Amino acid sequence: MHILTKKENGILTIEFNRPEKKNSITSGMYQMMADALKDGQDDPAMRVVLFCGRPDIFTAGNDLVDFANHKARANVGDLPVAQFMASLIALTKPVIAAVAGAAIGIGTTMLLHCDLIYASEEAKFSMPFSPLGLCPEFSSSLLLPQIVGYQRAAEKLFLGEFFSAYEAHEMGLVNRVLPHDELLEFACGQAAKLSALPASSLRTTKQLMKSAQAEMVKSRILLENSFFSDMLSSPEAGEAFSAFFEKRKPDFTKFS
């Protein structure tokens, strides 16, 4: 199974498990995670959600072969990735992410909707939407500037380059950076602490913190989806995807 789930001691663990493809995510994997989150939301015994990947990779983001096969759909909001993100955003229980290795694209975007993020010293992050001829997704154009400041967000979203766990921590995106071999144990320990606390208090606290911008997040996602859907069929995106599959550098100079 490319997505592993486990329920234990009030903790729902969702693990990326496709190491041969650097944990790149297919539509089927998104659907499995969406279903797992909905089940975790409805199960009163589950009090915390923990995302993790392999020791060497969190996720390389969308599987571009799978994504290319589905990108012809008119609205990105109809894709399984949108169902996964909607389930994540709607979750009223605390969400922890333990990031080891690279978190690319949606791998970083999803972190903006998690509550606690812990990273290993070897973790790195990237949001390479502009280099793919696309735009930010799932309210990242709203949330990333709020978290790290406009100039830093612009640098990350314009260039799409990798940045380190230490930079992510200094910017406020990550709660703590840990030695590689201590990451998962620490994240599990934090999940256990939360699981032992009053569930109603955690739900209410999360609701209070999220409620002020909930409508802005929904509105921004609709706006981003509109642009994203149009840009999927743009010549720039076509060049970016062709270059990826042909293993060459894209040439955007012919586009204005």
Per domain, the residue ranges of the chain are: 3-178
Does pTM surpass 0.85?
Answer: yes
Does position 255 have pLDDT exceeding 90, yes or no? no
Cα–Cα distance measured from residue 84 to residue 61, given in angstroms and rounded to the nearest whole number: 13
Task: Report residue 66's pLDDT band, with 50, 70 and 90 as the boundaries.
Answer: confident
Q: What is the CB neighbour count within 10 angstroms for residue 139?
A: 24
What was the pLDDT predicted at 78? 79
Whether residue 74 contacts residue 37, with contact meaning beta carbons closer than 8 Å, is answered with no
pLDDT at 67: 78
CATH 3.90.226.10 fits 3-178, yes or no: yes
How far is the C-alpha of 180 from the C-alpha of 71, rounded, in Å? 36
Residue 6: how many other CB atoms lie within 10 Å: 11
- pLDDT value for 73: 56
Could you tell me if 136 and 129 are in contact, meaning their C-beta atoms sit under 8 angstroms apart?
A: yes
Quick check: 70 pLDDT over 80? no
Per-residue DSSP letters for 70-116? HTTSS-GGGSHHHHHHHHHHH--S-EEEEE-SEEETHHHHGGGG-SE
Q: Residue 166 pLDDT > 60, yes or no?
A: yes
Q: Indicate the helix (H) or strand (E) that contains 215.
A: helix 199-232
| The Cα angle at residue 189 between residues 186 and 192, in degrees rounded to 5 | 155
- Read off the tokens for 1: 């199974």
Q: Decide: 119 and 172 in contact? Cβ < 8 Å.
A: no
3-state SS assignment for residue 231:
helix
| Average pLDDT over all residues of the chain | 95
The span from the CA of 62 to the CA of 56, in Å, is: 17
